[in-house]
Every structure is written in C-alpha cells, then in structure tokens.
C-alpha cells in the first residue's frame, strides 16, 4: 500500500496506555483459541470462567504508551485506513441510500477494555459495537493474522479494519437491526443470516478497495493480500484446522471461497448496491 502517516486520526481513541483492566489468565495465544471457538459455535466463549477481567491498579489511569516501532507503524496504518475508508463512505452512503453519514470511532486497546457491548477482550479479535458505534482492535491480532492465519501484509490488515467498518455501514442503514429481528423470528435461519451479514461486510471492504485504486493507494499484490486474508478467516478453513472436519450448518461468517468472492465483487463493482448478499442467496451458498 502507498500511504503516509498523517498523525493519529481524530476518530481514534487510544487506550493502550490505560490501566484498570486486565485479563487473567489467558494471553493472546489462548485468546485466539477463544476467538476461533466463538466463530465455530456461534457464541462468545470469551465471557467464560477462564477469561475474567480484573482490576489492574487505579481504574482509568493513563500511562505513556510503550510500543515497538512495528506497533507504532500499525497504529499509524489503521489511522490512515480509518480516515480514507470513512471519507469514501461519507460520500457513498448519502449518494446511494440517502442516509446521513456518521463517523465511527476506533478504539486501540490491549488485553481488555470496557465497551457499550460488554467487556471487549483481545481473544474476540477486532469487532464492531453498534451500541457505541466503535470499532475495537488490539493490534496484537495482526500478529495472529500473519503467524497463525498465514495472511501477512498491510493490505490484509486494512481488510480486517474495513470489514468492521462495513458493519458500521450496516448499522447506519439498519441492516443489522433487521437481521436481529429476523433471527428472532426464524431461529432456524440464525446462522445463515449471520453469514449473509458478514459476507456483506466483506463486500463493503471490497468497495473501499475499489476506490483506493483510483486514489493510487493500491500497489501490485495488495488485492491478493486482501483475498488471502478473507480466505484465511473462512469458517471452513478455521473449522478444518481446529477439528479436522467442516460443519457447514454451523457457519457464521462464510466459507473461504464465499468471503473472497464477495470481497472481489465489491472491488470489481464499486457499487454498494451490488453487495446485497441477502437477495443474492448468500445464506444458502456453500
């Protein structure tokens, strides 16, 4: 990716120097297992007894942020991606749907942090909370993405962030609320609807990638990195690596092929209306 640091985004809330909460006893390595189990079974295992949030000195105190050069660069990258993606969507959302745009906030944290959706933990991976309209990221996840999922590169990291911003787009449009209502009415379609929601966020990530191409941000190999990252976190890839077999009916995010295909569709089209995974039959695709 061609990018330059413009300093921290005004929409970034950096809690990496905050104390007042820590996880015990699960570290990052154990946390990724919790994330995978959550993806496999469609429930949040991070709130189990093995991962409790406990006080860590005076609540709310802030210390200077100690970071490696690599982490500092990642923090600068996510600020850049956050700003460029939100500029893109600030034009597309009103133009496409006539809905006003509101910027999401991005929270950088370590180990655990309070959110309006409960305690956010690093083992949950990056996530979007619709209640406070914030994306939460522990930057250590990018080490896991590279080392455990085999998806290195700056554009792979950008894909993760823009996927979560795709959930913010869905929230502003009311898509997530409609899905929750349908899941309540039709519990038998719960997983299928979840898959459609996640694949649409992948497609929205591809939409952002489409517009970065015209802004000369993309470099050769970037889209391949994004496709590799989308495939790496497919339900079938995760299930096979964890259990040795694949249970399609328990998918919550979509297969590797689906995730890559919908990211690619968004990238090729540039039109958010082409990301209608629900009408396209995404819930039943394999």
Provide the percentage of residues in the chain whose pLDDT is more than 90.
45
Q: Which residues, other chains included, contact 44 with Cβ-Cβ below 8 Å and sequence gap of 6+?
A: 38, 124
Average pLDDT value for residue range 139-167:
86
Residues 263-274 have a mean pLDDT of 95
**pLDDT value, residue 231:** 79
Mean pLDDT of 93-102: 97
31: left (phi over 0), alpha (psi -120 to 50) or beta: alpha
Q: How many CB atoms lie within 10 A of CB 127?
A: 17
Task: Average the pLDDT over 163-186 and give the result.
Answer: 95
pLDDT, position 48: 38
**pLDDT tens, residue by residue, 9-55:** 899 999 998 754 554 443 434 344 344 434 433 444 344 333 334 43
Q: pTM value?
A: 0.80
Q: Mean pLDDT across the stretch 135-152? A: 85
d(Cα 30, Cα 50) in Å, to the nearest integer?
Answer: 10
Among the listed residues 240, 150, 239, 230, the one whose alpha carbon sits nearest the alpha carbon of residue 198:
230
Using CA atoms, how far residue 254 sits from 76, 125, 177, 228, in Å, is 30, 17, 20, 14
Is the confidence at residue 282, as pLDDT, over 90? no
Q: How far apart are CA 19 and CA 55, in angstroms?
A: 8
Q: How many CB atoms lie within 10 A of CB 89?
A: 25
- Please write the tens of the pLDDT for every residue from 54-66: 434 334 445 667 8
The predicted model gives 158-186 an average pLDDT of 94
Residue 124 has pLDDT above 70, yes or no: yes
- Residue boundaries of the structural domains of the chain: 12-284
Mean pLDDT of the chain: 80
Q: Considering just the CA atoms, what is the radius of gyration of the chain in Å? A: 18
pLDDT of 176 > 80? The answer is yes
Which pLDDT does position 54 carry in this prediction? 40
What's residue 279's pLDDT? 87
Q: What is the pLDDT of residues 198-222, one digit of tens each?
A: 999 999 999 999 998 877 787 777 7
What confidence tier does 280 reach under pLDDT thresholds 50, 70, 90? low
Span 185-196, mean pLDDT?
89
- Looking at residue 237, its pLDDT comes to 65
């Amino acid at each position: 990716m061609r990018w330059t640091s413009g300093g921290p985004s005004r929409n970034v809330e950096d809690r990496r120097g905050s104390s007042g909460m820590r996880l015990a006893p699960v570290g990052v390595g154990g946390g990724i297992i919790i994330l995978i189990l959550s993806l496999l079974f469609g429930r949040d295992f991070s709130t189990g007894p093995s991962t409790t949030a406990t006080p860590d000195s005076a609540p709310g105190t802030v210390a200077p942020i100690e970071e490696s050069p690599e982490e500092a660069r990642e923090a600068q990258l996510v600020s850049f991606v956050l700003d460029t993606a939100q500029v893109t969507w600030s034009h597309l959302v009103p133009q496409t749907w006539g809905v006003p745009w509101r910027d999401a906030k991005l929270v950088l944290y370590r180990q655990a942090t309070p959110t309006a959706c409960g305690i956010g933990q690093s083992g949950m991976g990056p996530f979007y909370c619709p209640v406070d309209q914030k994306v939460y990221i522990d930057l250590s996840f990018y080490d896991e993405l590279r080392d455990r999922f085999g998806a290195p590169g700056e554009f792979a990291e950008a894909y993760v962030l823009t996927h979560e911003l795709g959930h913010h787009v869905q929230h502003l449009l009311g898509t997530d609320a409609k899905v929750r209502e349908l899941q309540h009415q039709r519990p038998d379609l719960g997983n299928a609807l979840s898959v459609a929601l996640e694949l649409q966020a992948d497609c929205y990530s591809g939409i952002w990638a489409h517009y970065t191409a015209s802004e000369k941000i993309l470099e050769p190999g970037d889209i391949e990195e994004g496709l590799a990252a989308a495939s790496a976190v497919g339900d079938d890839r995760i299930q096979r690596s964890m259990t040795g077999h694949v249970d399609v009916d328990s998918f919550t995010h979509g297969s590797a092929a689906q995730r890559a295909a919908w990211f690619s569709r968004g990238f090729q089209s540039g039109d958010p209306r082409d990301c209608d995974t629900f009408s396209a039959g995404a819930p039943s695709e394999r």
